[in-house]
Amino acid sequence: MTGLLASVQDAREMDLAIKGGADWIDLKNPKAGALGMLPATDLADLVRSLDGRLPVSATLGDHWDDPSRYGDLVGELESVELSYIKVGVNARGLNQAYKAILENVLNRAMPAIAVIVVEFGVTNSMCRDLADLGFKGAMLDTADKTSGALGTKIGIDGVRRFVESARDAGLLCGLAGSLDISHLSAYLPLTPDYLGFRSALCQGSRTGTINQQAVRELATKLHSGDCQQAVA
């Protein structure tokens, strides 16, 4: 079953997301960008309060064009018991130097999910390359949250190819990028492992506060199994 990943920024939002039916908690600072990172001390407190009830990940910031930043950030999280870290990746920048930096980071880190920023391109070999580097999962996402949802930037066929290539590479597979309840009928039939949400769960913009009822409505629809037809 596809799970609901809820991106939260504090303990209150995390509690609301859990009560609403989220399957996965993702810790981020939405005011600091698409993959904005919370302070390590805040992450440690949130993970302790979650106490293993759900899988938990944390984003490392919008550094897909400067992956050398990730090394120091991973160092700050060595004592934080996350299920995964989420590392922004520029798929078209995966040359040998870029891969070497990522490989060095992964050798020091807990399990990692590569977040592919679609505005910078998607390649046919990226999921296999990421798996070879040691990533445990891959996720499609958007950097610009104001210019349309994921499907408007890559198309349903592009999303389908990504899910298939991630599965073939043995990677955990996620989709995100300004998704809302209207996108479930397109993406659930593709059977990703999870769908990620922030804006659709909030009052107002993605920097607003999570609404428990919005989480519940999305979780109920997602878990009901009645979204069967993918968009052609």
Task: Name the catalytic one among 28, 31, 99, 221.
Answer: 28
Q: Which amino acid is at 204?
A: G
Q: Please indicate whether residue 28 is annotated as part of the active site.
A: yes
Buried b (16+ CB within 10 A) or exposed e, 141-173: bbbebeeebbbebbeeeebbebbebbbebebbb
Task: Name the catalytic one among 19, 31, 86, 145.
Answer: 86
Angle between helices 126-133 and 150-168 (to 10 degrees): 60
For residue 165 the two structure tokens come to 């290539």
Round to whole Å and give the CA distance between 64 and 61.
8
Q: Please state the φ and ψ torsions of residue 79, each to the nearest 5 degrees.
A: -100, 5
Q: Which residues are catalytic?
A: 28, 86
